[in-house]
Amino acid sequence: MVKIGVMGTGYVGLVHGAVLAGHGFPVTCMDVDAGKIGRLSRGQSPIYEPGLDELLAAGLRAGTLSFTASAKDVIRGSDVLFIAVGTPAKEDGSANLDHVQDVVQAIGRYANGPKTVVCKSTMPVGTARSIARYLDGALKARNAPYRIDVASNPEFLRQGKAVSDSLAPSRVVVGTESEDAKRMLQTVYAAHLRQEVPFLFTNWETAEMVKYASNSFLAVKISFVNELALLAEKVGANIGDIAAGMGLDERISPHFLQAGPGYGGSCFPKDTQALLDVGRRNGEELFVVSAAAAANEKQKRRMADKIAEALAFGGSLKGKTVAVLGLSFKPETDDIRYAPSYDIINGLLSRGAAVKAYCPQGMKQAKRQWTEWDGIVAYCESEAECAQHADALVLMTEWPQFRDLGWDRIARSMRGGHFFDLRNQFADDPRIRRLFRYYPVGSNEPAYTLEEAQ
């Protein structure tokens, strides 16, 4: 049986390791945070992801999943090593590979036999080749009689659906120049081959670029529809119907054509900037990706402006209380990295507003990471508490539980009747328009579905 080590226990590494353990492989996940490892060993996940707790419990119960803080132990005890550590963006937009370098150096130091090293983290084009060169040199310096094969195997997990995406991926992309690595990954992913999941085997650089290209294209699509939404509000059009009409064209598809406050999360903002950095380093300015990133920043500013223009007196929101529902960048995750809520709330605070917030899963992370809001933003225990005595309600993230909150009661509890639906979750709901002064994104008129229009 192939023994698997996973370096890193974030959203990618933890889910990937738990799923492989569920397939029966002996999997050891490693992290430098000993406290985190202790909690994981007791089945306590540090992140919220639907289905993950059950996978962790099953793997621990079956004995196929274990955790350690020792890089040496997991490297020496594994045949395949997945690198799944963070590659956050630096200030200039380039990817910070410090954690990757730490792992690779440890592999070069502790490897005790042939290994397959798989780059699961999102890494700039050329990183896998550099890792292969480094490991070759490290083994030669030790006169090691074996080799380490390297593959790039980018992840395509959607947060909130990461477990299901890992169990049944849309595709598997593997970049390698080693037949041994290819065969090893075919063994690891045998379940996906049986499921007839599409596989693409290519070289290192292509696999790395597929990930950046995919996320950047989706970011372009989101920014495009958001810019159309701003224009639609000014010309009297309805972005919901515009997107529906566009989506009927199979060449376009309706996916990622939902107007909103801008994209966020751990992938799109970071990966677009990293791809732009790769372009700059290679003498190619990527105008389309650059415009998408700029449009996303504009969208967040315009959402804060939209709220302020409706509420402000003389440009100030002093004396106004704004209730924000949702802090995570999307529903079914606690991830607040690059979430639009951060910039929009800051825009409201800078205008003098008092801000209350409630999020089903994001508040714990917000309190931990957004410490500059300590004593400024009031975190609430429920949607009802958040809305009470507020002048305006802002739906920032479209959590399913927000759909039916007893809106009559919430409307009565508020001081003002403004409702800013930044996800258009209630664009076709007449009860909300009866209870509130309703502000969707991309329309100033009641929204009708295509079927109703017909």
183 Cβ partners below 8 Å, 6+ apart? none
**H helices then E strands: how many in the chain?**
19, 14
Catalytic residue positions?
267
**Cβ atoms of residues 33 and 2 within 8 Å:** no
Cα–Cα nearest to 396, from 290, 264, 245, 273: 264
DSSP 442: S
Beta pairing class for 378-379 and 354-358: parallel
Cα–Cα nearest to 16, from 169, 182, 213, 203: 169
Rounded CA separation 148/138 (Å): 10
154 is written with which tokens? 């980018």
Buried b / exposed e over 241-261, threshold 16 CB at 10 Å, is bbbeebeeeeeeeeebbbbbb
CA 369 to chain centre: 16
Rounded CA separation 361/253 (Å): 31
**DSSP-based three-state secondary structure for 421:** strand
**Which single residue is written with the structure tokens 């080693």?**
178
Beta pairing class for 27-30 and 418-421: unpaired
Ranges of beta strands (E only) in 242-365 are 321-325, 354-358
Rounded CA separation 359/356 (Å): 11
DSSP 157: P
Q: Which residue type is seen at 158?
A: R
Rounded CA separation 286/268 (Å): 15
